[in-house]
Structure 1
Amino acid sequence: MKKYLYSSIFLLLTVGFASCEDYLDTPVPSIDQYTYFSNDQTALDALVGVYDPMGWMEYIQYLDWAIGDVVSDDADKGGGGDSDQPQMLDMEKFRATPETPTFSIVWKQLYIGINRANRVIEGVTDNNNVSAEGQKRITAEAKFLRAYYNFCLIKVFGAFPIVDHILAPSEFAQPRNTLEECWAAIEKDLKDAMAFLPHKKDMPASELGRATWGAAAGFLTKAYIFQEKWQDAEPLAKQIVASGDYDLEKNYGDLFTIATDNGIESVFDVQKKDFKMTQWGDENEGSMIEIYQRSRDARNGGWGFNQPTQNLYDEFETGDIRREWTIIKDGDVLWEGTPDEEVIYTNYDPVHNPDAPKVGYCKRKGTIPMSQRPDMVDAAGLNVRVIRFADVLLWQAEAAVHNNSDWKTPLNRVRARVGLGNSPYASDPLKAVYHERRVELALESHRYWDLVRTGRGNLMPGYTESKRYFPIPQIEINLNPNLTQNPY
């Protein structure tokens, strides 16, 4: 393990990031480590630094969808051919290695987030300079964020070294904990966070984007689902549903717009905003996903990655409007009748789109109109929907199938939003849930993990159970001989 991952990272060399108006938007002042936590405000300023790695490019803006969509059967890599992002092609073909560059960057960045969370937790705990209520709220948020970063690690790499405090030099070379210990640490942090986080409906608009009770409960439900703890998952999902904090957006097509960032269906968004900055990199606090996945045709100006497969296209039922809001066909017209009206081209064109496949699709979710596109390619102001209410309803349905309880009510609530009745797979409840998850959440970075956690990895050519988790970065093993490699 790299020593600096656990050292006293300077938390506050970041800017706030969010689509809200106050809390996470505020540039963080420079404060040395000795005055981090001299009062509630400095503790809150430090907390912004814990949120910041969540939005950095390499995980949420790249690896999460590269694995969740492209490695799965929902999408192909796309882009400008095999030489364009070859590491993504290697992941898609299940031939990634410990030298794959993005793995080492993600490992480092996630541990930066964990270290920052630990610094805040230790800085405010039993600190008389911070109010009792401030200690509870800030510690709860930091524990939620630590659980989030740990969840990202366990999804990609499996078991990892648990770091729940600022390490002494003698502790730098930790071995990996067991999977069970890692899940237990995630669960504990989320439960602790739930105890002191507010409900979304009780938060002022200026604080939207911060962690909530529902966000922590949502990730805890997801942890139960990943571990097949059905008896725990169903009642917690039902509790979220009954909380009154969330509902389905009335119109499915409104889900992936800047206008619905942190909206009624958002259980947790990673916050993105275009600050109209001129430099390249994470300092922008915006997103690269939109340009990564917009059509590569010169008339549309994107890079053409994460192209939906025919297999995904065919999964949608006749009359399911979610297909048109998920997948763009060649010649589709978006924002028709507005100044942003645009024809999207996805097919091969030797003049405008020479890198496209002969027949292709593009992802519609997250494609934003020209008037909202940023000047810098990495600065789109559209949040990343990490957990939304439909996801919770479908977790409830999946757990209910395993518990022999009512799975139809939550599933049909999702279907009713788009005008559909009973599932065509109602005689096979698990198939009905799996189908609904695929079409409802398509191209939202879920499919790969849904397949492997449910024993359906064989639907991805080249997959074997030994490839469930991706390789630990070799540079980390070189630095820490106590780390063991995954059998990839």
Structure 2
Amino acid sequence: MKARSFNKNIFNAGYLLIMLGILASCKKLVELPGNPPSFINREQQFADSASVMSVVAGVYTYNQSKGFGYSDANFTIATGLSADELSTTLSSSDRPQFYNYSLTPLNGSIIGLWQYPYQALYQVNDVLEGISDNNKLSASLVNQLTGEMKVLRALYYFNLVNIFGGVPLVTSTDYRVNARLPRASVDAVYAQITADLNDALNRLSPDYPSEARYRPNLYTAKALLAKVYLYQGKWQAAYDEADDVVGSNVYRLSEVPLNAVFLDGSEEAIWQIPAKNSYQQTAEAQNFIPSGASTPRYLVTPFLLNKFEAGDQRRQRWVGTTVVNGNPLSYPAKYRNRQATNLPLEGYMILRLAEVLLIRAEAAARLNNLANALSDVDIIRERAGLEASTADVTSQDAVLNAIMHERQVELCFEWGNRWFDLKRNVTPSTSAATVLNAVKAGYTPEAALYPVPQAQRDLNTSLDQNDGYR
């Protein structure tokens, strides 16, 4: 399904685990068996609960070539440039193509946005196959791990479908089938996502299965499902799932200073994985935080900077500033630790309470419950040090615009939320065409989807290309 990931060499290799180096970064995600071997064959991987948990730890490892599929900041950078959040000083790279909508199927970063999630999906499917009908494992462990893997699979497909549109639905490890799969429709991908998440709801407990919140629980599945329903326009379903998460009282907004939101063990985290390895913490910090007096690789756009109101703690805590040749330059700073040794440790946030509050707010507004929608907005504004919203509580468009503004400044540089929001056309004034054409040139409706990498189409002739790309 992708270069180097869905070809025969990798599948014939059988997905060997490089356990010691990978699992050192997983903290206490799982307990390792004593003296684990460096390599184990597939039968050994699923021989007992200890070996299975070693495989599961690899799935969550913050390493895009061996574990979690979004461990290189590529997703954050690409979507931030395509939206109105970021510009880049890397003129000699392929990054400007995202900013000015000149992407081609040969863009190297596009390959990673496809390749690493599919590589991770192979690992997820491998676990699901390895634990299914496995009489060496307890029914409770199989149930738990099946739920977790389906949440992971749903996350990957949610991002893939919003980046590329319809994509191949790979739900097995059979390369002979996967290598020639055509693109499924957007509706079919969403059907798979919701089926996986609803199955996970029936399997997962409200209790987290490991230290901290590194592996999904019931509310993780609900939070992601709320987001999926929101994107599908299923307002009541989105509201209900988000309301369950907020009403659980398991989570609370981190107090100021706001950089505490992204610390390892954040009380706001619904799902957060440990990112530290031998040379760095998050890839976002490595890419965004300048080294010494150097020019940042990526700058926060003046457009976004101007959206922060006076006194907004998010502007002060989540945007950094350096002076180069007398010029102040602003860069993303939600993650600040460039070095592995920097303390306190940061963890990589996947889902957090503030986003769920904004999902609930938007769903409520769509259901014309405008006062409740603004109440959720004001909870987040208060944490940011701002007064309550002044949006007209009698106007649905005014309330939706207030929610979109809050999403813009609260969720900047996180999981492509701004790029996806612009494409959702929530209101006429917040649509991609309206906003982006006023900020920069080149946006067309075809730019809403990225091209399928040409390397994938060379391997799989069943893959058609998105409109607007050759």
Q: What TM-score does the superposition give when structure 2 sets the normalisation length?
A: 0.86
- Counterpart residue type for residue 459 of structure 2: L
Partner of 2:319: 327
- 1:39 pairs with 2:70: no
Deviations 1:148-177 (A, max 9, x none): 222221122111110112226255201111
8 Å contact from structure 2 (residues 261, 268) kept in 1: no
SS of aligned partner of 2:73? helix
Q: Distance in 2 between matches of 1:87 and 1:363?
A: 20
- Counterpart residue type for residue 5 of structure 1: F
- 1:290 pairs with 2:299: no
Partner of 2:146: 139
8 Å contact from structure 2 (residues 213, 273) kept in 1: no
Q: Distance in 1 between matches of 2:226 and 2:32?
A: 29
Report deviation, 1:221: 1.2
- 1:415 pairs with 2:376: no
Q: Distance in 1 between matches of 2:155 and 2:378?
A: 30
Q: Distance in 1 between matches of 2:380 and 2:246?
A: 12
Q: Distance in 1 between matches of 2:228 and 2:100?
A: 27
Partner of 1:223: 228
SS of aligned partner of 2:72? helix
Q: Distance in 1 between matches of 2:234 and 2:244?
A: 16
8 Å contact from structure 1 (residues 50, 145) kept in 2: no
- 1:165 pairs with 2:172: yes
Report deviation, 1:4: 4.9
SS of aligned partner of 1:206? coil
Distance verdict in 2 for CA 1:22–1:394, change over 3 Å: closer
SS of aligned partner of 1:477? helix
Q: Distance in 2 between matches of 1:75 and 1:320?
A: 19
Q: Distance in 1 between matches of 2:392 and 2:379?
A: 14
SS of aligned partner of 1:16? helix
Distance verdict in 2 for CA 1:256–1:250, change over 3 Å: closer
Report deviation, 1:42: 1.5
Partner of 1:346: 323
Distance verdict in 2 for CA 1:421–1:24, change over 3 Å: farther
Distance verdict in 2 for CA 1:11–1:246, change over 3 Å: farther
Partner of 1:395: 359
Partner of 1:337: none
Which among 383, 386, 390 is matched to residue 424 of structure 1? 390
8 Å contact from structure 1 (residues 43, 138) kept in 2: no
Q: Distance in 2 between matches of 1:22 and 1:54?
A: 15
- 1:90 pairs with 2:97: yes
Paired positions, count: 441
- 1:61 pairs with 2:72: yes
Which among 420, 432, 452 is matched to residue 449 of structure 1? 420
8 Å contact from structure 2 (residues 212, 265) kept in 1: no
Q: Which has the higher contact order (CA 8 A, sep 6+)?
A: 1
Q: What TM-score does the superposition give when structure 1 sets the normalisation length?
A: 0.83
Deviation larger for 51-60 or 236-245: 51-60
- 1:487 pairs with 2:467: yes
| 1:60-459 equivalences in 2 (<5 Å) | 60-78=71-89, 81-83=90-92, 86-167=93-174, 169-199=176-206, 202-203=207-208, 206=211, 208-257=213-262, 260-274=263-277, 276=278, 286-295=281-290, 298-299=292-293, 304-329=296-321, 345-349=322-326, 358-368=327-337, 373-374=339-340, 382-405=346-369, 406-427=372-393, 428-444=398-414, 445-454=416-425, 456-458=431-433, 459=435
8 Å contact from structure 1 (residues 159, 176) kept in 2: yes
Deviation larger for 455-464 or 264-273: 455-464
The CA RMSD measured in Å over matched residues stands at 2.7
Over the matched positions of the two proteins, sequence identity in percent amounts to 26
Q: Distance in 1 between matches of 2:162 and 2:460?
A: 21
8 Å contact from structure 2 (residues 30, 210) kept in 1: no
- Counterpart residue type for residue 440 of structure 1: E
Distance verdict in 2 for CA 1:313–1:480, change over 3 Å: same
Distance verdict in 2 for CA 1:487–1:262, change over 3 Å: farther
Distance verdict in 2 for CA 1:70–1:138, change over 3 Å: same
Structure 2: unaligned runs, 5 residues or longer: none
Report deviation, 1:136: 0.5
Deviations 1:294-342 (A, max 9, x none): 135x44x6x613311221121122222221112234xxxxxxxxxxxxx
